[in-house]
Chain A
């Protein structure tokens, strides 16, 4: 497999990780705890879209090889993940008068509940959206890149969502309030910002993006009740690498971790790729060590920049 294909796969995987990382970072910056149910919120989004796609998947027309019904299902996945997260905040987290460590542990319990409910309804087996797989895009094959239009749809959709979030954060009243609250919650209240409302909006947006990430993960790979949980550690790595609490850091961290993850097999082919290095040189690690490599690089960066790449809160 050539470097170009690893880079292309890295871009696709990064798109999913970025969506998960942003949501986790947003919630951390404003709700002030590490939400271990975030990965399972992605799963909630994926399965909600799965159900919706079963109902509306037959809608005519398609974009990038995906039926219109898929995009309707995507919106349903985003909405359900957002609503479930907000309900959880109002019913579980908000009434608990405990510190951030207590909330973190509670969120582990919430994650188990989400997962158990999904498994009870859909079983523990893998499943897929009922969408016909596509052949790789023909004109990219000579360049060694074997990606499908579905993969392009994932990258484009993620870029649209991230771009939309950027516009919201920088150019809307809500976005400025979110940034102000993440920066200094006490001063936000003193300034007259209704911080409880901003917190709910943050849950909605963060979980909605996680839901979208879950749907794309299901499309890229397949659905299973553990799909989000399995991704959670690497999403945490991305958020910490970028600078915990920083939304733009989470974007960068998610991109880097996703790329590193998919580029891991390249380590065994380093000699062939680098000049002045013997062709047979390589570090024999496969994709199964991708997460470990990502964490090694995260730790190495933190040794140099303890607050992550982006440092302070956004």
Chain B
């Protein structure tokens, strides 16, 4: 497999309406790794994911996927390129059953939908048990698993995950981080935003610290956790 980045942002400016959030932001994701974006509220972490996924159009700079510019591509086309996205909130269809949620995750597939859904039921037995249940009846942790599974139906090689532990009890959050690692073991590279920086970096290969829309620190996750300045400014250490 090539060592070239699977996903790369170079000098990206982006934002909402006239409000700029990202300012000359550059980062990359290599194949099969987990990269965690941390930083204070409003640093632009989620904006990075939304810009990659086409929910926001970059004002400047490039977003490339396997070397191809995807900046400004519509989300429904980005999915077809091979990138999945798990939003922080409202990440399942509440009124649809678990099975229907998974089928909606595979609308862009050319075939093999039943096989993939079967594999996901094997991987996440709790979804198999509740395949007929409406998503609104699931617990927070179960919903998060369903949200991952929905995004995995397309068998993406990049998965963008926005704050997977948000609003979850500590034990449930640990389970969810375990699922993130399990997804990564499927050779899926993961770019993850996480408010709980210690936990997020704890399961990641590398990390970026964003502040005011710009990358302030980057490096191996373990090094960032040990970095005194990062710890003091961003990890509450």
The reply to whether B93 and A180 contact each other, CB–CB distance below 8 Å, is: yes
A residues less than 8 Å from B95 (CB atoms): 179, 182-183, 312-314
The reply to whether A193 and B76 contact each other, CB–CB distance below 8 Å, is: yes
Stretch in B25-33, B103-111, B173-181, B188-196 touching the partner: B103-111
B interface: dominant SS? loop
A residues less than 8 Å from B108 (CB atoms): 192
The answer, yes or no, to whether A166 is at the interface (CB within 8 Å) is: no
11 contacts between A and B (CB under 8 A): A179-B96, A180-B96, A183-B95, A184-B93, A187-B92, A188-B104, A190-B53, A190-B79, A190-B85, A192-B105, A194-B76
- Separation of A192 and B75 alpha carbons in the complex (Å): 7
The reply to whether B76 and A176 contact each other, CB–CB distance below 8 Å, is: no
Q: Which residue of A lies closest to B84 (CB)?
A: A190
- Separation of A309 and B90 alpha carbons in the complex (Å): 23
* Cβ 8 A contact of A183, one of B75, B87, B94: B94
Contact with A along B102-131 (1 / 0, CB 8 A): 011101100000000000000000000000
Q: How far is the CB of A254 from chain B (nearest CB, A)?
A: 20
Mark A residues whose CB is within 8 Å of B: 173, 176-177, 179-180, 182-184, 186-195, 312-314
- Separation of A312 and B108 alpha carbons in the complex (Å): 27
B residues less than 8 Å from A188 (CB atoms): 93, 104
B residues less than 8 Å from A180 (CB atoms): 93, 96, 100, 104
Q: Which residue of A lies closest to B80 (CB)?
A: A192
Q: Which residue of B lies closest to A246 (CB)?
A: B95
- Separation of A177 and B107 alpha carbons in the complex (Å): 9
Seed contacts A186-B87, A312-B94; 4 additional CB < 8 Å A-B pairs: A176-B104, A180-B100, A187-B90, A314-B95
The answer, yes or no, to whether B154 is at the interface (CB within 8 Å) is: yes
Q: Which residue of B lies closest to A197 (CB)?
A: B76
- Separation of A190 and B105 alpha carbons in the complex (Å): 9
The reply to whether B93 and A190 contact each other, CB–CB distance below 8 Å, is: no
Q: How far is the CB of B38 from chain A (nearest CB, A)?
A: 23
A residues less than 8 Å from B55 (CB atoms): 186, 190
The answer, yes or no, to whether B142 is at the interface (CB within 8 Å) is: no
The reply to whether A184 and B150 contact each other, CB–CB distance below 8 Å, is: no
The reply to whether A192 and B154 contact each other, CB–CB distance below 8 Å, is: yes
By Cβ-Cβ distance, the 4 closest A-B pairs, closest first, are A192-B108, A192-B79, A183-B93, A189-B75
The answer, yes or no, to whether B64 is at the interface (CB within 8 Å) is: no
Q: Which residue of B lies closest to A188 (CB)?
A: B104
- Separation of A312 and B96 alpha carbons in the complex (Å): 12
The answer, yes or no, to whether B91 is at the interface (CB within 8 Å) is: yes
B residues less than 8 Å from A194 (CB atoms): 76
The reply to whether B79 and A187 contact each other, CB–CB distance below 8 Å, is: no
Q: How far is the CB of A196 from chain B (nearest CB, A)?
A: 9
The reply to whether A190 and B107 contact each other, CB–CB distance below 8 Å, is: no
Interface residues of B in 47-90 (CB under 8 A from A): 53, 55, 74-76, 79-80, 85, 87, 90
The reply to whether A176 and B100 contact each other, CB–CB distance below 8 Å, is: yes
- Separation of A312 and B76 alpha carbons in the complex (Å): 26
- Separation of A176 and B102 alpha carbons in the complex (Å): 11
- A192-B107, A194-B76, A195-B76 in contact; A187/B100 too (CB < 8 A)? no
A residues less than 8 Å from B100 (CB atoms): 176, 179-180
- Separation of A183 and B94 alpha carbons in the complex (Å): 7
A residues less than 8 Å from B93 (CB atoms): 179-180, 183-184, 187-188
- A183-B95, A313-B95 in contact; A191/B104 too (CB < 8 A)? yes
A176, A177, A179, A188, most chain B CB atoms within 10 A: A176
A residues less than 8 Å from B136 (CB atoms): 312
- Separation of A267 and B175 alpha carbons in the complex (Å): 60
The reply to whether B96 and A176 contact each other, CB–CB distance below 8 Å, is: yes
B residues less than 8 Å from A179 (CB atoms): 93, 95-96, 100
Q: Which residue of B lies closest to A182 (CB)?
A: B95
- Separation of A186 and B85 alpha carbons in the complex (Å): 12
The reply to whether B85 and A184 contact each other, CB–CB distance below 8 Å, is: no
A residues less than 8 Å from B94 (CB atoms): 183-184, 312
A173, A189, A312, most chain B CB atoms within 10 A: A189
- Separation of A193 and B96 alpha carbons in the complex (Å): 15
- Separation of A75 and B92 alpha carbons in the complex (Å): 38
* Cβ 8 A contact of B104, one of A193, A312, A313, A314: A193
B residues less than 8 Å from A314 (CB atoms): 95
B74, B93, B103, most chain A CB atoms within 10 A: B93
B residues less than 8 Å from A176 (CB atoms): 96, 100, 103-104
* Cβ 8 A contact of B150, one of A173, A177, A191, A312: A191
Q: Which residue of A lies closest to B135 (CB)?
A: A183
- Separation of A186 and B154 alpha carbons in the complex (Å): 17
- Separation of A190 and B136 alpha carbons in the complex (Å): 19
B residues less than 8 Å from A177 (CB atoms): 104, 107
- A176-B104, A177-B107 in contact; A190/B96 too (CB < 8 A)? no
Q: How far is the CB of A144 from chain B (nearest CB, A)?
A: 42
Q: How far is the CB of B2 from chain A (nearest CB, A)?
A: 26
B residues less than 8 Å from A313 (CB atoms): 95
